[in-house]
Amino acid sequence: MGMAAFVWFWVALAGFAALRPDYSHAHKAVSELGVIGAPNALAWNLVGFIVPGVLLALCGACLANEVDGGRKILWCLLVMAGVGFTLTGIFPAEMNDGDPVMQAPLTMLHVVAVMLSSLFWMLGALLLPWRTRRSSTWSSSTRLAVMLAVLSVGGSLLNIILLPVLLPQLQFMPGITQRIGFAFCLAWYLVIGVRLYRHAAPMVITNKT
């Protein structure tokens, strides 16, 4: 499910963006595909946000069950991260002349969903190595996952604080920096998905034997 979410999201983003000649990956936020009144907004919110969000929540639940063996703090954080991603499609933002209407209830709910999804995922990703610190089977995957999480958190801070100074040209290409954040986050789920799949495959073969 983590692998599926990674592939599904990027294919959906490329496909729906291609349907809009006016849409620019460099200058437009991903959420703009689903704002109220946008072409194919309902379809994008379902395909681009809700379906991947459900997959991410299920992947997080499987990871937590594998590592913690139950519904504990890691399970709650990772499941809520996926739920938050899903809610961004349920509560699409409102825009007027290319600018978000921040006073609109749906826009506020959309922003809250984005923030909560990011926060829950970051906390869960950084908690993972603590839960797997004594597991030799998870050590290599955990190190890579933590690196991706740190890069994502650091990239977010860099985007807010330093990027406008270091690379001023990117101030006018917010879509690029947003997609870098999506890439690190979804790559984390890809790594976790591959790890869970590799762990499950020998068990299936053994059971069939």
Can you give the C-alpha Rg of the chain in angstroms?
Answer: 18
Computed over every residue of the chain, the mean pLDDT equals 79
Lowest mean pLDDT among 4-13, 60-69, 79-88, 194-203: 194-203
pLDDT at 203: 41
The answer on pLDDT for 204 being more than 60 is: no
The CA distance from 12 to 34, in Å, is 12
pLDDT band at 137; cut points 50, 70, 90? low
pLDDT at 9: 94
pLDDT band at 85; cut points 50, 70, 90? very high
Lowest mean pLDDT among 15-19, 82-86, 93-97, 134-138: 134-138
Lowest mean pLDDT among 58-62, 156-160, 175-179: 156-160
CB crowding 10-44: b at 16 or more within 10 Å, else e? eebbeebbeeeeebeeeebebbbbbbeebeebeeb
Q: In this predicted model, what pLDDT tens digit does every residue of 90-132 receive, in sequence order?
A: 999 888 766 677 888 988 999 899 889 888 988 888 888 777 7
pLDDT at 142: 63
The answer on pLDDT for 12 being more than 90 is: yes
pLDDT at 155: 54
Percent of the chain surpassing pLDDT 70: 72
The CA distance from 33 to 92, in Å, is 9
The CA distance from 123 to 79, in Å, is 12
